[in-house]
Amino acid sequence: MSKDKPHQLIFRMGSHSEKEYLTKTGRFLDGLIVGANLLEATPGATMSLLLKLAGEKYGVRYYVDPMSYVFGVYTDPKSGERREDLDWIKSNRKVKDKTVWGIKRSYTALAERYGGPFEAAIERGRAVDVSDFRNATNGKKICQSVIDYQLTRIRLELIKDKELVEFAEDAPDPAAVFAPYFYIEPGNKQALSELAIKTAAWSVEVAPKNIPVHAVICADRSALADSTLTDRLVTELPKTGISGVWLWFSRFFEADADVADLKAFRRLVENLSGHLLVYNMHGGFFSLALEKLTGVSHGIGYGEQKDVHPVIGQSTPSVRYYLPDIRKRLGVPKIELCFRALGIETPKDFFDKVCDCVICKGVIEKISDFSAFGEMRYSRVESQRMAQTPAAAKRCRYHFILNRIRERDWIRSATKNEVISAIKDAERKWNLVPMTSEMTHLAKWREVLSAE
């Protein structure tokens, strides 16, 4: 495998329950990324999966997302207020029969391992601040501890285990280490983007020379339109000595974004790619299709984008069926409404016109079986709301993973014109009343991808 080929597909393991999917399909990926909080929550299980996939046999690259931003300041999505109370990493916990509102255990453990301002933030109950990095000596120390963590956490876990201790020495290193990063709040872009550039440079200074250092630029979608900011990143990031940059524009959802944002994103990727490997940390098909993007990462369960600010108390959404032609997840009944117009009457019609992955072939013995992807039930007897069955969610996830891997393989060998005509064909084929409002993104993607 050439080292830095484009169109890399990297999955993000979001929770321990996703291990099953990755055990089965992870070997077909270019990389796997795990959040440091997950490594703290379920260290043994996460480590064994990483060792299996990153070992010699499969050679999947892995990355540890240091998740440093969660210890920083955030903007309340409801009020738009700037908050430094760390509430977004708190939850209700049971302590001796009492329910206590406090920092989640995995984040407390992580802060203790990082030490310095992270640990201090947890202790005082107030976020890490730009001023914690004012002094370069301190700043480098912070970068050092965050990088050491990414390089040693897995080995520490192996050393703890009597039967695995002998593997500790040979445990594979991550493909790159990330500099600590924080959310570049819209109200404080200047100081926070300067901090991102500084932590990138310090990290290169302190990291072992044989391991590439990457930066994460985590900002609001509105930053895409701010050319002062993006120009600064393009000019300054390569000077820091990093080899790669991961972009994460919160609320930049490829399927909802307007042409201006999509264009700005493409331009930024191209401008950065002259000197650096460029990744989209939470992207989908559009990013995968960008020629200058090295790779895209996303979760496997609930979509390909991520808002920096989680909606607290939101119930788990259903996993919908990824419609390969439209490159979007949709409800099963909506897709079924199109069957007649598309002449889909038999399983063979379905495999020819919608999807012929092994999951669909296994599920659909007669055409009405397609509804198994949207199967609902009352989750509890007293429950008022119906929820998707776990089996249906699982089918949807596997079908999505297989399609995404297939898309990656196809994009790697397709020309730009072939990608554009495939999109155009899909628009023509699905130009049906239930779908017209669901595929407005396709024309926008086509416009932006085809621009010279």
Least separation in angstroms between CB 359 and Zn ion: 5
Residue closer to Zn ion, measured from CB, 127 or 360: 360
Contacting residue, 54, 355, 363, 392, with Zn ion by CB under 5 A: 355
Helix ranges (H only) for 85-172 are 105-114, 116-124, 136-160
Angle at 409 between CA 338 and CA 253, to 5 degrees: 60
Q: Verify binding: residue 357, Zn ion, rule CB under 5 A.
A: yes
Q: Is 221 in the site for Zn ion (CB under 5 A)?
A: no
For residue 340, the number of C-alpha atoms closer than 13 Å in the C-beta half-sphere is: 5
Q: Which is nearer to Zn ion, 7 or 399 (CB)?
A: 399
Residue 223 binds Zn ion, judged by CB under 5 A? no
How is 187-210 classified by DSSP, letter by letter?
GGHHHHHHHHHHHHHHHHHHS-TT
Measured CA to CA in angstroms, residue 134 lies from 142, 181, 192, 374 at distances of 12, 15, 12, 53
Give the shortest CB-97-to-Zn ion separation in angstroms.
47
| Binders of Zn ion in range 81-110 (CB under 5 A) | none
- C-alpha closest to that of 37 among 65, 61, 62: 65
Q: Coil, strand, or helix at residue 376?
A: strand
Cβ closer to Zn ion: 60 or 355?
355
Q: Which stretch binds Zn ion (CB under 5 A): 69-77, 94-102, 293-301, 392-400?
A: 392-400
Select the span of 170-178, 191-199, 297-305, 359-367 touching Zn ion (CB under 5 A): 359-367
Indicate whether 354 belongs to the interface with Zn ion (CB under 5 A). Answer: no
Closer by beta carbon to Zn ion, 36 or else 360: 360
Question: Which residue stretch of 22-30, 86-94, 268-276, 349-357 sits at the interface with Zn ion (rule: CB under 5 A)?
Answer: 349-357
CA distance 194 to 175: 26
Decide: is 399 part of the binding site for Zn ion (CB under 5 A).
yes
Distance CA 31, CA 42 (A): 20
Cα(181)–Cα(133) distance, rounded to whole angstroms? 12
Q: Which of 417, 421, 423 is nearest to 443 (CA)?
A: 423
Part in contact with Zn ion (CB under 5 A); list of ranges 9-17, 26-34, 202-210, 398-406: 398-406
Distance of closest approach, residue 372 Cβ to Zn ion, in angstroms: 12
326 binds Zn ion (CB under 5 A): no
Alpha carbon distance 270, 260 (integer Å): 15
Stretch that binds Zn ion, among 135-143, 146-154, 240-248, 355-363 (CB under 5 A): 355-363
Site size with Zn ion, rule: CB under 5 A: 4
* Dist CA 449 CA 443 (whole Å): 10
Shortest distance in whole angstroms from residue 147 CB to Zn ion: 40
Q: Which is nearer to Zn ion, 247 or 288 (by Cβ)?
A: 288
Q: Of 27, 1, 18, give the one whose Cα is nearest residue 405.
A: 27
Q: Does 360 bind Zn ion (CB under 5 A)?
A: yes
Binding region for Zn ion (CB under 5 A) out of 77-85, 209-217, 273-281, 348-356 = 348-356
Supply the DSSP symbol for 379.
S
CB of 329 to Zn ion, least distance (A): 12
Which residues would be at the binding site for Zn ion (CB under 5 A)? 355, 357, 360, 399
